[in-house]
Structure 1
C-alpha cells in the first residue's frame, strides 16, 4: 500500500474528526458525524497497522481514535464485574509483575534495620546517643502510649492518611528518584533507631508486640510504593524497545492501579494499628493476627497474582481500547 497516498486520501477526515472531538457542544448531526468518522478512523488505523505500520502515524491515529471513542461513548458505567476483575486480576498481577522490585527492597530494608540494631547494641556510645535523642520517658511510656492515647476510629483514619501520603509521595515523585530514596531512608532509619533503643533497654517484648501486628503489612505497602517510584524512574532512564512516552504511560497506569490498591491495604493496616495493636489481647495473639494478614497478602500476590500474570494480566488496563492503541515497535 502507498502510505503517503493513503494519508492524503483520509487526512481531511481525521482533521474533521479532531475538530469534532475538540468541540464542546455538538448538535445531533455533528454527533452522528463524529461517530461515523470515529468508526472510519478505527478502520484506517487497523489497515495501516496491518499493511504499513508507520509508528508516527499509528501513534497519532491511536490517540485520535481513543479520544473520539471517549467522546462518542463516554465513560464506562460502573459495574461490580469491573471491581471483581480489578481485585482478582489487575491488582494482584501488577503486584506480582513488580515483585523483583519490591521484594529486594523489602529484604534489603529489613536487613539494614537488623544491622543498625546489632551495631547499636554493640556500641554503647550509639546507645547513649539514642537515649539522649529520644529520652527515658519514650522508653518507659511514650512509645506504648502512642497507640492507645487516641480514639480508635480517629487514630485509624490519621494513620491511614499519613501512610498513604508517604506512599503517594514515593509514587508520584518516583521519576525524580531522590524523593523515593528519602522516604525509604527516613522510614528505615527511624524504625532501626527505635528498635535498637527499645531492644537495648529491655523492652523488646513491647516493641515487637506493638510494631509487628500492623507493621508487617504497613511497611510492605511502603516498600511497594517505593518500588513503583523507582520503577518509574528506571523506565524514564531506560525505556527499552518502547518509546519513552509509551513506556511511562504503561508503567504510570500500572502505578495508578497499584496505588488504588494500596489505599485499601493501608486502610486495613490502619484498622489493625488502631484496634488490634493496643488491644488487651495477648502479645502472641496480636502478632498472630498481623502474621495472618501479611501471609494472606503474600498469598494474594504470589498465588492469585501469579495465576493472573501467567494468564496475560500485567497490572495495566487490559482492554486495548481503554489503553489506547499502541504503535508497533522494533523488537
Structure 2
C-alpha cells in the first residue's frame, strides 16, 4: 500500500484521535473520551509499527510517533494515583470480575450452602452428626456464647479497647481462612472446595446446635450484621482458588507452571475483593455485632447488607472499563 492510500484509509480516525487528545490536553474532560483513548492509542501504535515496517516517509512516521507520545502522556496522567486506582477497582473492576466468573460464584455458594443446610437439618434426626463436627469443646463454646443462660454478648465490650481486640482477632482468623481457601486452589481446586465444604458443615452444625439447645435470637442477632460480608468473602476466596485450580487442570498450550502464573494473575482481583469483604466483616463483627442494639435493628442491618452486595455485584461497573 502506498503512503497516500495508507493516509486516506486512516485519516478520519487520526483526525478524531487528534481532536480527542487535544481536548483532553486542554482539560476538557469527557468520561467517554478518557476511556476511548487507550484503545485509539493501541491503534496508533500498530499503525506506527506498520509505517516503519513498510518504510513510509519520515514525516508520516514522525506524525504517528508524536500522536503516540501525546496519547501515552494522557493515559499516564489519567491513570490516577494509588487511591484513585483502588476506588476504581472496587467501583468497577471487582464487581466485573464477579460477573465474569459467575459460574464459579454459583458453584462455590452451592458447595458452601448445601452442607450448611444439610447439617442444620440433620439435628432433627441424629445429633451425632453435629457432635462429630463441633466436638465437645465446640458445643461448650456454643453454650457459653449462645446458651439460654449465657451472659450478654455486649458485656465487657466497648471498654478498655475490647472491641478493637476482638476486631483484630476476627481479621487475623478470617483472613487466614480466606488465604487457606485461595491456597487450596493449587491442589487443582479440590483444596478450595474442601475447605468451603468444611466451613459449611461447621457453620451449619453451630447453627443447628444453637437452634435446638441454645438461644437462636442471641445467635442470629449477633451474626446477621457481619454474615453477608464474611460469608461472601469466603465464597469469593473459593472462586479465586478455583480459578487457580482450573488453570492447572486446563493449561492449554502453556506449561502448567505458566498456566498457574496466568490463572493467579486472573484471580488476583478476586483475592483482593475477598480480603476486603472479610476486613469489612471484621469491622462490623468487632464494633457492631455484639453491641446493645435490638435484634430487630440488627436483622435489618443484615438484610441491608445482603441487598447492598446483590445490587453491587449485579449493577456496579456496568458499561465501564476496568483499570
TM-score range, shorter chain: 0.5 to 0.7
Shift in Å, 1:202: 4.8
| Structure-2 change in CA distance of 1:139 and 1:221 (3 Å) | closer
Instruction: Name the structure 2 match of 1:207.
Output: 219
Q: Please list the CA deviations of residues 84-128 of structure 1 after superposition, one character each: whole Å capped at 9, or x if unmatched.
A: 322222122112212211223213422321121111222255467
Instruction: Name the structure 2 match of 1:229.
Output: 241
Shift in Å, 1:226: 1.1
Give the match's secondary structure for 1:121: coil
Q: Quick one: higher RCO (CA 8 Å, sep 6+), 1 or 2?
A: 1
**2:145 and 2:153 in contact (8 A); partners too:** no
For 1:218 and 1:115, locate their aligned partners in 2 and report how far apart those are by CA, in whole Å: 20
Q: Please list the CA deviations of residues 213-264 of structure 1 after superposition, one character each: whole Å capped at 9, or x if unmatched.
A: 2122201110110121012101211135777566544432232223223332
Question: Is 2:181 the partner of 1:170?
Answer: yes
For 2:135 and 2:94, locate their aligned partners in 1 and report how far apart those are by CA, in whole Å: 44
Instruction: Name the structure 1 match of 2:286.
Output: 274
1:58-207 equivalences in 2 (<5 Å): 78-126=81-129, 133-134=136-137, 137-143=140-146, 148=154, 151-176=162-187, 177-207=189-219
**1:139 and 1:203 in contact (8 A); partners too:** no
Q: Please list the CA deviations of residues 50-76 of structure 1 after superposition, one character each: whole Å capped at 9, or x if unmatched.
A: 99xxxxxxxxxxxxxxxxxxxxx9xx9
| Structure-2 change in CA distance of 1:289 and 1:191 (3 Å) | same
Q: Please list the CA deviations of residues 23-63 of structure 1 after superposition, one character each: whole Å capped at 9, or x if unmatched.
A: xxxxxxxxxxxxxxxxxxx98x956xx99xxxxxxxxxxxx
Instruction: Name the structure 2 match of 1:54.
Output: none
Shift in Å, 1:283: 0.9
Q: Please list the CA deviations of residues 184-220 of structure 1 after superposition, one character each: whole Å capped at 9, or x if unmatched.
A: 1331121121111111115222222222221222011
Q: Please list the CA deviations of residues 121-150 of structure 1 after superposition, one character each: whole Å capped at 9, or x if unmatched.
A: 222554676797247754443347695566
For 1:87 and 1:270, locate their aligned partners in 2 and report how far apart those are by CA, in whole Å: 18
- Alignment equivalent of 1:296, drawn from 282, 302, 308: 308
**1:94 and 1:258 in contact (8 A); partners too:** yes
Q: Which runs of 5+ in 2 are unaligned?
A: 1-44, 55-75
- Count of residues in correspondence between the two structures: 247
**2:167 and 2:283 in contact (8 A); partners too:** yes
For 1:263 and 1:130, locate their aligned partners in 2 and report how far apart those are by CA, in whole Å: 26
Q: What is the TM-score of this pair, normalised by structure 1?
A: 0.63
Q: What is the TM-score of this pair, normalised by structure 2?
A: 0.64
| Structure-2 change in CA distance of 1:46 and 1:157 (3 Å) | farther
